[in-house]
């Protein structure tokens, strides 16, 4: 037998012997605790007795002891009674279990303690926040969900707190979000008149809405979806196989729009290219596209050679030529529309058909142009941006939020519809949208989550429809198929994987050759069963002429 097994067996024997010994000497230990308790009681009683009464007390105790000794069986009964009382006094009462602390009470106490350094005043005689204060004096109307997370809270703060300064507000909002949980978005409603702050945890937006035809009026583009507080309008959408009503964020374009151009900013991987694809799919049925892919990543390769797409450029020279053509086309449309308005004639279709210029990360081309000594492509956007509304020309400018300073002042001034995607800081979001946002973003945001501001309206939350690149094999198949279904026509590069395999054509047996006959030519009928026949009744798809750069 090995040494380890000997040691293990010895530990088991020692543990068994200890258990038996504890069971055997348990009565003695009980009586010993009782005697010690009696001795402590007698000592305390003797100490509490005045000195002038200690002599008579000793005399009475001695007389009682002599009387008990003289009684028949007196000492035996005395010892039995002492042991019984010692056993009763030596028993261990059951200690009550410690009460389970309330999770909500602990969270509110931690939040109150964290807010104390920011809301406590050193000269306040009756402070609302102090180190030994109670949160019930400052908090009201708190609510928790079934998982113990804070969903609503009203905080009172002293009147001397600088609630009009954005920096002071940001500190309080950061503390509250850190203690309440950074996995959710929170709306902060500052009531400066009554010195109250109302905090509400917002439910996450729906992120499983795929690209699909949306029910909108002409000239309306669905940027995404928000909550009921951000939009009072709902449209039917297909979600998880059923049709539901969702509140959309609608951007109105056209000659009567007050915000004819859009600026999209976001962190890398936040979904700016997906938003451009969603806009392109909604604009293609009624308009023409010119796409500039400044990053050159091929995010918009699915639009190449599509009906209505004039060009998709990734090079500096091609982008410069495309933007220059859009500028000249804007001038031409203005001339044609003004002439038609003066003569009272109907404007031609090529002047009223919407033209969309989609630019994805064009500042990359601007840096390349500056390095090579060429003109900045952003300088050519002044005419489409300033006169595009009257000419039915819409510009969508998507860029990284960190490259906001490299965007030309003309673009920032004329794009009054703005979208910010990704988990950017509140200061960056406020600078991009032009106003402070009363919603604190979550630490981790899904693809396409952000904020939108149309004109001078208040910013609202936004979730862009899932519009992945159909050429991306890592994207979910059902989302890719939804994008492919919205493209103007099928293209073998993108739809080959989604299209079902054609059934094999059975071999045709050889027909013996017949002797040629001379006679008048007869018309040949094209049969419907001929697999290689072309149906003459169907017109070829109309392809609009592309501009020559």
Q: Is the pLDDT of residue 501 over 80?
A: no
Question: CB of 86 within 8 A of CB of 31?
Answer: yes
Q: What pLDDT, on the 0 to 100 scale, is given for residue 59?
A: 82
Are 186 and 227 found together in one domain? no
Q: Quick one: tokens of 505?
A: 């054509």
Q: Quick one: tokens of 372?
A: 């090579």
Structural domain including 468 reads: 220-489
Instruction: Identify the top-confidence range among 6-10, 129-133, 183-187, 460-464.
Output: 460-464
Q: What pLDDT, on the 0 to 100 scale, is given for residue 74?
A: 78
Are 165 and 307 found together in one domain? no
Question: CB of 343 within 8 A of CB of 270?
Answer: no
Question: CB of 189 within 8 A of CB of 198?
Answer: yes
Q: Is 270 annotated as a binding residue?
A: yes
Final residue of a structural domain among 455, 489, 523: 489
Q: What pLDDT, on the 0 to 100 scale, is given for residue 420?
A: 95
Are 376 and 427 found together in one domain? yes
Q: Is the pLDDT of residue 537 over 70?
A: no
In tens, the pLDDT along 171-207 reads 999 999 988 888 888 999 999 999 999 999 998 898 8
Are 343 and 224 found together in one domain? yes
Q: Is the pLDDT of residue 4 over 80?
A: no
Q: What pLDDT, on the 0 to 100 scale, is given for residue 257?
A: 92
For residue 124, CA distances in Å to 120, 129, 143, 154, 499 come to 8, 10, 30, 22, 74
Q: What pLDDT, on the 0 to 100 scale, is given for residue 493?
A: 52
Are 357 and 431 found together in one domain? yes
**Nearest residue to 442 via CA among 181, 117, 248:** 181
Q: What pLDDT, on the 0 to 100 scale, is given for residue 1?
A: 52
Q: What pLDDT, on the 0 to 100 scale, is given for residue 184?
A: 87
Q: Is 273 annotated as a binding residue?
A: yes
For the chain, the domain total comes to: 2
Confidence band of 453 (pLDDT split at 50, 70, 90)? very high
> For residue 313, what is the domain's CATH number?
3.40.50.300
In-domain check, residue 36: no
Are 391 and 272 found together in one domain? yes
Are 166 and 248 found together in one domain? no
Q: Is 269 annotated as a binding residue?
A: yes
Are 153 and 251 found together in one domain? no
Tell me if residue 485 falls in helix, strand or coil: helix
Q: Is 85 annotated as a binding residue?
A: no
Q: What pLDDT, on the 0 to 100 scale, is given for residue 46?
A: 82
Q: Is 267 annotated as a binding residue?
A: yes
Q: What is the mean pLDDT of residues 226-240?
A: 91
For residues 347 and 344, what is the distance between their CA atoms, to the nearest angstrom?
A: 9
* Average pLDDT of the chain, as a whole number: 83
Lowest mean pLDDT among 70-79, 160-169, 232-241, 402-411: 70-79
In-domain check, residue 28: no
Are 378 and 484 found together in one domain? yes
In-domain check, residue 61: no
Q: What is the mean pLDDT of residues 473-501?
A: 74
In tens, the pLDDT along 76-120 reads 878 788 788 877 777 766 566 667 778 888 899 999 999 999 998
Q: Is 271 annotated as a binding residue?
A: yes
Lowest mean pLDDT among 80-94, 270-284, 428-442: 80-94
Final residue of a structural domain among 169, 202, 235: 202
In-domain check, residue 214: no
Q: Is 231 annotated as a binding residue?
A: no
Question: CB of 423 within 8 A of CB of 268?
Answer: no
Enumerate residues 6+ apart whose C-beta is below 8 A from 227.
Answer: 202, 203, 205, 247, 460, 461
Final residue of a structural domain among 202, 231, 250: 202
Q: Is the pLDDT of residue 534 over 60?
A: no
Q: Quick one: tokens of 235?
A: 């449209």
In-domain check, residue 193: yes
In-domain check, residue 3: no
Tell me if residue 264 falls in helix, strand or coil: strand
In-domain check, residue 165: yes
For residues 464 and 264, what is the distance between their CA atoms, to the nearest angstrom?
A: 12
């Amino acid at each position: 037998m090995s040494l380890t097994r000997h040691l293990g067996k010895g530990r088991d024997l020692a543990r068994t012997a200890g258990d038996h010994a504890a069971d055997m000497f348990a009565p003695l230990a009980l009586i010993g605790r009782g005697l010690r308790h009696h001795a402590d009681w007698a000592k305390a009683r003797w100490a509490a007795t005045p000195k002038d009464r200690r002599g008579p007390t000793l005399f009475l105790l001695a007389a009682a002891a002599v009387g008990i000794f003289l009684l028949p069986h007196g000492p035996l009964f005395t010892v039995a009674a002492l042991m019984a009382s010692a056993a009763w006094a030596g028993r261990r009462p059951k200690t009550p279990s410690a009460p389970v602390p309330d999770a909500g009470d602990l969270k509110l106490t931690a939040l109150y303690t964290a807010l104390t350094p920011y809301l406590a005043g050193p000269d306040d005689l009756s402070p609302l926040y102090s180190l030994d204060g109670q949160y019930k004096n400052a908090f009201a109307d708190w609510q928790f969900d079934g998982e113990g997370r804070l969903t609503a809270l009203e905080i009172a703060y002293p009147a001397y707190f600088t609630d009009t300064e954005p920096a002071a507000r940001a500190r309080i909002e950061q503390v509250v979000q850190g203690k309440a949980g950074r996995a959710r978005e929170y709306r902060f409603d500052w009531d400066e008149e009554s010195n109250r702050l109302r905090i509400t945890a917002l439910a996450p937006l729906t992120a499983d809405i795929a690209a699909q035809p949306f029910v909108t009026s002409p000239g309306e583009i669905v940027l995404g979806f928000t909550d009921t507080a951000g939009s009072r309008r709902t449209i039917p959408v297909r979600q998880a196989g059923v049709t539901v009503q969702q509140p959309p964020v609608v951007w109105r374009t056209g000659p009567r729009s007050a915000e004819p151009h859009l600026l999209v900013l976001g962190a890398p991987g936040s979904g700016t290219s997906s938003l451009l694809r969603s806009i392109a799919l909604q604009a293609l049925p009624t308009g023409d596209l010119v796409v500039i892919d400044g990053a050159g990543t091929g995010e918009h390769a699915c639009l190449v050679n599509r009906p209505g797409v004039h060009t998709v450029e990734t090079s500096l020279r091609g982008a410069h030529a495309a933007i220059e053509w859009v500028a000249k086309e804007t001038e031409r449309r203005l001339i044609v529309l003004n002439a038609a308005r003066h003569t009272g004639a109907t404007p031609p279709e090529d002047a009223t058909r919407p033209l969309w210029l989609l630019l994805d990360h064009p500042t990359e081309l601007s840096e390349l142009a500056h390095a090579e000594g060429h003109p900045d492509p952003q300088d050519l956007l002044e005419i489409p941006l300033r006169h595009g509304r009257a000419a039915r020309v819409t510009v969508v400018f998507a860029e990284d939020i960190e490259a906001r300073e490299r965007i030309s002042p003309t673009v920032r001034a004329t794009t009054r519809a703005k979208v910010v995607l990704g988990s950017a800081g509140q200061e960056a979001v406020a600078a991009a949208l032009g106003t402070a946002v009363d919603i604190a973003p979550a630490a981790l945001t899904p693809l396409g989550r952000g904020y939108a501001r149309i004109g001078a309206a208040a910013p609202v939350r936004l979730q862009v429809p899932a519009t992945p690149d159909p050429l991306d094999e890592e994207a979910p198949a059902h989302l890719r198929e939804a994008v492919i279904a919205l493209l103007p026509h099928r293209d073998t590069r993108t739809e080959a994987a989604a299209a079902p395999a054609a059934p094999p054509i059975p071999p045709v047996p050889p027909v013996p050759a017949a002797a040629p006959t001379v006679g008048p030519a007869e018309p040949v009928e094209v049969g419907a069963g001929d697999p290689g026949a072309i149906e003459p009744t169907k017109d070829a798809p109309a392809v609009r002429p592309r501009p020559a750069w």
